Structure 1
Amino acid sequence: MPPSADAADRVGMLVPSGMLGAGFDPATVERGLTLNPHVIAVDGGSTDSGPYYLGTGTAKTTAAAVARDLRILLDAAARAGIPLVVGSCGTGGTDSGVDWVAGIAEDILAETGLGLKIARIYSEQNSTFLKEQLDAGRIQPLAPLGPLEAATLEDCTHIVGMMGHEPIADAIRAGAQVVLAGRATDTAVAAAVPLMLGMPPGPTWHAAKIVECGGQCTTNPRAGGVFATIDRSGFVIEPLDPDSACTPISVAAHMLYETVNPYRMREPAGTLDVSSADYTALDDRRVRVEGSRFEPAEQHTIKLEGSRITGYETVSFTGIRDPYIAANIDRWAALLRTMLAERIAQTLGLNTDDYALDIRLYGHNAILQDIDPDTGPAREVGVMLLVNAPTQATATAIAKVANPLMLHLPLPEMHYLPSFAFATSPAETERGAAYEFVLNHVVEVDSPSSMFRTHHTREVTRV
């Protein structure tokens, strides 16, 4: 158990970075320990990097980077006698992601002899169970998706439920000193211990939201982590790096990050409302926040995330420096698409329903496309062709058909043959299976922990 908060005067949260494996200065953790934390909390994953990691059940971080961070944090938690909580292990929060991080942690504990008890909380969901919930009318869509079909559940390679703080708090109450959770809300990882120790939900959930990405709420996001102290009427937040600072603007601005509404944010158990929050600078480094409220939901829900294979991809990239084509790049791209469709039909016998093409013009409008406000000609343009087809061989064959067009295609009025520059040789790179997110739905549950499974391990001793 963490240090007692029976007096309920304050609970401290040490968040070393925005993600396990991202790295941080060990000195910032040491400084955080001097502030008397009750928990060390860090996120281990996200959907930020797309559906591949959930779809494959693999991590975007390296084992070496995760081990480096864990070694520091396990030692810090053991010395302080407080829990270490990691959420969304292995990026997507799959069962294999939890086991991957747990294996690294157990190796470190065996090597160092720290003897900490680990709880693994699994969040992966069975499609048979979810179809039963669907038939019972307990799964509802979130915008912009519509009603869920059973076939979508069957198509997913992995489905996870996004837990709130309850399973984490249950694991700590049961004696866990290290909690390695599957998919969890970013905020639940930090909020679990303060809520368990009696802190009010409004300040707790707001503080958890602000610290979720470590130093991103500071004036120097690269500097690492932050420390939040929650009390009965609000919370104080400060950076762990002495050369960084929190300001009212930097703290308040984090409510704009990954939220539909900058004043309201839904959690499984209810909604955080910061519309009346006040942000006050206590000095040149610390900010106090008061006025946050939490509205309990009438129905507890668990959000589902699922990823499925959409096909197989091959990518090709060429650079254009020809000033005339760069000035007429939209016409050139349209010509490329038209001629490519004709040649694919001629050589491979495929029509446009048999594959998908994405042509991105980097340096022109690849990010915003038609809504890009900059209409001036680009000096140089990078052309990315992304082919998606039912098989890898087909995707690569299509990219090979595009090869001569992406190397020399002139506009009709040009009287010379332009030359472009492929970024790689061979020009085609096979990306393998491509994935997409297909679930944006919630399951109505009677118990906050019913969809999650917790496995407790004994102390890991030196071998």
Structure 2
Amino acid sequence: MSTNKQLRIISPNGHLGFAPTKEESFKLGAATKPDYYCCDSGSDDIGPAPLGADKSVGMYDWQVHDLELMLLAAREQGVPMIIGSSGDTGSNSRVDMYVQIIKDLAKKHSLANFKLAYFYSEVDKEYVRGKIRDGVQIEGLDGRSSLTLSELDKTDRIVAVAGVHPFIKALDMGADVIIGGRSSDAAIFAAPAIREGYPEHLSYYLGKVLECASFCAEPYAAKESVIGTISHEDVKVTAMHPDQRCTVASVAGHAMYERSNPFFEYFAGGMLDMTNCHYEQYDEKTCRITGPEFVPIDGKIKVKLEGAGKVGEKYIGIAGIRDPYSIKHIDKVIEWSKNQVAEMAAGREYFIDYKIFGKDGVMGEMEPVKDFKSHELCVVVEGVAETKELAEQVTLMATRQIFYARLPEVKGTAGTASFVVDEMLRCTPAYEWTLNHVIPVDDPLELFDVRMIEVGN
């Protein structure tokens, strides 16, 4: 057990590089000399396309900005910096990109030599195929059935979601900076606390409350820094922005907002039970939390796998409608458009979707429009097909046919759509989640190879 009374970790951004970290609150937090600088850089909330296409959704310059803030502060203070799920997805190419950014920043600022650890999270499909053929059950999550070879064949890229173990190993190796592949959001923060001897139940709760940075504070403000403090008895979280506070309501609300059962969070080897959490206002800007429990799960450790597979090429079209009669009968307009696409693309596979946005609300495809009071609508058309040519054709046809819809009681060329985008917008290809499963492993480091290099001027 650590003899230190407390450990302090700064979380500057709930998703590094997704939008730039706000510098004022970060500098206020850095001035308090935290023990660790930790940040999550990824999420599956962004959908399967970035993983499948192996690209980032954050701008490169924003990612450099956030890494630079953290690196300079951590190196000046001489404390560790930890990044998980590098480059949004934690794929190997994103880890390599972040490692190179750290090298470039070290050279730019003439930093003294330091140890940089990194690990990859991508999993070879053949490794997974071998497990299935050996009779290993790779269980599905969120209602999915166990993984089959046919589902695996549809997959272009797989990442394993790391727990605390590769981060702890890197710290044991003497790392000053850690660049991680795909990781559990909370594990990035829990790892240093567990390594330094703080209780697992409080360490995992610390990670849970810090992972989204200022989302646990009020009033709402993103990309602001917060500091989590763990002792052997409690966790405290403090907002750094001058106008934000971590309150009982904001912290409890954040801890419970994103799960079907809001009181439980699962990790490799155990489960965080927040049923008996107690929240109290410690001071004006700080909430104190006690009472979480960590319940070990018997049996093998299971690691989550995320996989994405390409569905087809994708285009977007946009139509604006101001004609009151067309707005009132928008369901018939969409039905006409769909039928015209079906006639044009008969015998070929495609997917078409309509999202209808109006000033009084948002509707999904073909939902009733009774009492819809907007004076204008925006229809976003999404077309997907195996080839770029067919995807563009079905999207263009669907968008233009909104203008040409044949409605009863419309006489002459009154027109329906006031504006149609004829130039289709080509998008990243469409992908789907093919894996949301857990695979049993004998060693929690089995899928994560931790490497170390020395970086400096």
TM-score range, shorter chain: over 0.9
The equivalent position to 1:37 in structure 2, one of 31, 34, 45, is: 34
Q: Equivalent residue for 2:268? A: 268
Q: Equivalent residue for 2:286? A: 286
Unaligned runs of 5+ in 2: none
TM-score by length of 1: 0.92
Cα deviation, residue 373, structure 1: 10
Could you tell me how far apart the structure 2 residues matched to 1:226 and 1:57 are?
31
Could you tell me how far apart the structure 1 residues matched to 2:280 and 2:258 are?
23
Q: Equivalent residue for 1:333? A: 334
Q: Equivalent residue for 2:427? A: 431
Q: Equivalent residue for 2:12? A: 16
CA RMSD of aligned residues (A): 2.0
Q: Describe the superposition over 1:101-130 as per-residue Cα deviations: whole angstroms up to 9, x where unpaired.
A: 111111001222222211111000001111
> SS of the residue aligned with 2:85?
strand
Cα deviation, residue 389, structure 1: 1.0
Q: Equivalent residue for 1:455? A: 451
> SS of the residue aligned with 1:31?
helix
Could you tell me how far apart the structure 2 residues matched to 1:329 and 1:230 are?
55
Q: Equivalent residue for 2:88? A: 91
Match for 2:405: what amino acid?
Answer: L
8 Å contact from structure 2 (residues 248, 279) kept in 1 = yes
Q: Is the deviation greater in 373-382 or in 202-211?
A: 373-382
Q: Describe the superposition over 1:195-218 as per-residue Cα deviations: whole angstroms up to 9, x where unpaired.
A: 100111111111211111110011
Could you tell me how far apart the structure 2 residues matched to 1:401 and 1:376 are?
26
Match for 1:190: what amino acid?
Answer: F
Match for 1:92: what amino acid?
Answer: T
Alignment of 1:63-462 (within 5 A): 63-114=60-111, 115-135=113-133, 136-220=135-219, 221-222=221-222, 224-298=224-298, 299-342=300-343, 344-345=344-345, 350-351=346-347, 354-363=349-358, 366=362, 375-417=371-413, 418-422=415-419, 424-426=421-423, 428-458=424-454, 460-462=455-457
8 Å contact from structure 1 (residues 327, 378) kept in 2 = no
- Size of the aligned set, in residue pairs, is 450
8 Å contact from structure 2 (residues 352, 395) kept in 1 = no
Could you tell me how far apart the structure 2 residues matched to 1:87 and 1:448 are?
16
8 Å contact from structure 2 (residues 202, 235) kept in 1 = yes
Cα deviation, residue 133, structure 1: 1.9
> SS of the residue aligned with 1:222?
coil
Could you tell me how far apart the structure 2 residues matched to 1:187 and 1:286 are?
20
8 Å contact from structure 1 (residues 392, 432) kept in 2 = no
> SS of the residue aligned with 1:125?
coil
| Pair 147,222 (structure 1): closer, same or farther in 2 beyond 3 Å | closer
Could you tell me how far apart the structure 2 residues matched to 1:243 and 1:429 are?
40
> SS of the residue aligned with 1:387?
strand
Q: Describe the superposition over 1:243-268 as per-residue Cα deviations: whole angstroms up to 9, x where unpaired.
A: 21111000000123332211001111
Q: Is the deviation greater in 248-257 or in 30-39?
A: 30-39
| Pair 403,213 (structure 1): closer, same or farther in 2 beyond 3 Å | closer
Q: Equivalent residue for 1:6? A: 2
Could you tell me how far apart the structure 1 residues matched to 2:245 and 2:368 are?
34
Cα deviation, residue 273, structure 1: 0.7
Cα deviation, residue 24, structure 1: 2.6
| Pair 106,301 (structure 1): closer, same or farther in 2 beyond 3 Å | same
| Pair 71,423 (structure 1): closer, same or farther in 2 beyond 3 Å | farther
Match for 1:297: what amino acid?
Answer: I
Could you tell me how far apart the structure 2 residues matched to 1:273 and 1:370 are?
41
Could you tell me how far apart the structure 2 residues matched to 1:457 and 1:374 are?
63
Could you tell me how far apart the structure 2 residues matched to 1:393 and 1:321 are?
30
8 Å contact from structure 1 (residues 223, 244) kept in 2 = no
Q: Equivalent residue for 1:56? A: 53
Cα deviation, residue 222, structure 1: 3.1
8 Å contact from structure 1 (residues 410, 416) kept in 2 = no
The equivalent position to 1:47 in structure 2, one of 38, 44, 47, is: 44
| Pair 313,409 (structure 1): closer, same or farther in 2 beyond 3 Å | same
> SS of the residue aligned with 2:143?
coil
Could you tell me how far apart the structure 1 residues matched to 2:331 and 2:147 are?
38
Match for 2:119: what amino acid?
Answer: I
Cα deviation, residue 325, structure 1: 1.2
Could you tell me how far apart the structure 1 residues matched to 2:151 and 2:217 are?
41
Q: Describe the superposition over 1:429-455 as per-residue Cα deviations: whole angstroms up to 9, x where unpaired.
A: 222521111111100111111111112
8 Å contact from structure 1 (residues 8, 198) kept in 2 = no
8 Å contact from structure 1 (residues 8, 232) kept in 2 = no
| Pair 97,16 (structure 1): closer, same or farther in 2 beyond 3 Å | same
8 Å contact from structure 1 (residues 120, 179) kept in 2 = yes
Could you tell me how far apart the structure 1 residues matched to 2:280 and 2:305 are?
37
Match for 2:301: what amino acid?
Answer: H
Could you tell me how far apart the structure 2 residues matched to 1:165 and 1:389 are?
41
Could you tell me how far apart the structure 2 residues matched to 1:143 and 1:238 are?
33
Cα deviation, residue 365, structure 1: 6.5
Q: Is the deviation greater in 212-221 or in 143-152?
A: 143-152
> SS of the residue aligned with 2:114?
coil
Unaligned runs of 5+ in 1: none
